[in-house]
Amino acid sequence: MEEIVSRSGVTIRDVARVAGVSLSSVSRALNGGKNVSARIARDVAAAASTLGYQPDFMARSLRTRSSGMVGCLVPDVSNPLNATIVRAAEACLRDAGYLLIIANTANDPAREREAAARLRGRRLDGMLVAPAGDGNARIWRDLVAAGTPIVILDRDPLEDEDDIPSPAVLVDHRAGAMAATRYLVALGHRRIALLTADADMRPSRERIAGFRAVFAEAGIDAAGAQLCIQASPMDFPQGGTLALLRGTPRPTAIIALGTRILAGVLRAARDLGLSVPRDLSVLSVGDTDLAAVHTPPITALRWSLEDVGRAAADLLLQRLHGVGGQAQARTLLPVELVLRESCAPPAA
């Protein structure tokens, strides 16, 4: 058997000697192999700890052609929605023996390309990707073509002329937007503004489609449907919201992304002396801490961020382990409307 030396200079032969087991038993125990008894696994772990054995993962990756690492590209790691998804994915991958490496792209296509190239250069086993938009679709197609397993987080940039779906975990934003808009329409609102991110991204496209569909099905003049597209949810939108609320006629209700955009809406309403919900109904897309603790608490669209992360990790692990062959797979997760105190019928 090949002698494996750790960075501390301790070999698996030393571990085998202290544990009183064979080299093959040490190898199987350290690599999570099958047919290893609980006693041997315990003895090997104790011997490795006593000797300070640290596996040289670079050397191991050369032998096994597996780095044991998975990359994760997110547009804004400080966004609590993204953070929750990544945390859930990391827990699943860690339990499966993988280390998750996170790259924050700041919604910048150039940074996204750079991060993808650097991660690819480290020969990661797979990637979880939340692209900022569809502009870098070629990167993901090339990675897939090169054999790198990829799972897309709530985006669809891998579509091609054959309309082959990419492996992805998606959220049913269209149904969520329809539920939110129907709720406001039922309260009597006819001038409703939707504040969302770049319309080139799937979540925004789906929300806009659902928003408009409700106006059409209710027979309401589409002029009351006001769309405010932010180039990036990282941009602080207070100024734009002030202009919107100063307009004539101003919206009586706003549906807004639940982090920076929601904060901008609430600050703008405060600056103009508008009371929520007496003067302005506010509904959050995403049930963040801000939505829950604000006074009054903000009605919100909620989906399980933990489920997004876990589903993405599970799908990637299936692809890494060859479960289900190379068939593409998609998971669509539901959205629910959480009623609180921030919406009311429009003032007469």
Indicate if the pLDDT at residue 317 is higher than 50. Answer: yes
Tens-digit pLDDT profile for residues 35-49: 778 888 888 888 888
Q: What is the pLDDT of residue 137?
A: 77
- The stretch 163-170 carries a mean pLDDT of 74
The CATH class, in words, for 173-302 is: alpha beta
Instruction: Decide if pLDDT at 123 tops 80.
Output: no
Residue 252: name the closest of 171, 340, 321, 346 by CA.
346
Give me the mean pLDDT over the 291-315 stretch. 95
Range of 172-186, 220-234, 247-261 with top mean pLDDT: 172-186
**CATH code for residues 67-171+306-333:** 3.40.50.2300
The arithmetic mean of pLDDT across residues 182-189, rounded, is: 97
Nearest to 309 by CA among 73, 91, 68, 79: 91
Report whether 304 contacts 81 (CB < 8 A): no
**Model confidence at 282: pLDDT above 90:** yes
Residue 348 confidence (pLDDT): 67
Tell me the helix, strand and coil percentages in the chain, rounded to 5: 45, 15, 40
- Global model pTM greater than 0.95: no
CATH for 12-63, options being 3.40.50.720, 1.20.1260.10, 3.40.190.290, 1.10.260.40:
1.10.260.40
pLDDT above 90 covers what percent of the chain? 40
At residue 330, the pLDDT reads: 82
Q: In what order do the strands lie in the sheet with 225-229?
A: 225-229, 192-196, 253-257, 281-285, 299-302, 336-338
Whether 173-302 and 67-171+306-333 are alike in CATH topology: the answer is yes
Other Cβ atoms less than 10 A from the Cβ of 192: the count is 24
Q: Provide the pLDDT confidence category of residue 162 given band limits of 50, 70 and 90.
A: low
Is residue 189 predicted with pLDDT exceeding 90? yes
Domain ranges of the chain: 12-63, 67-171+306-333, 173-302
Span 238-257, mean pLDDT?
A: 86
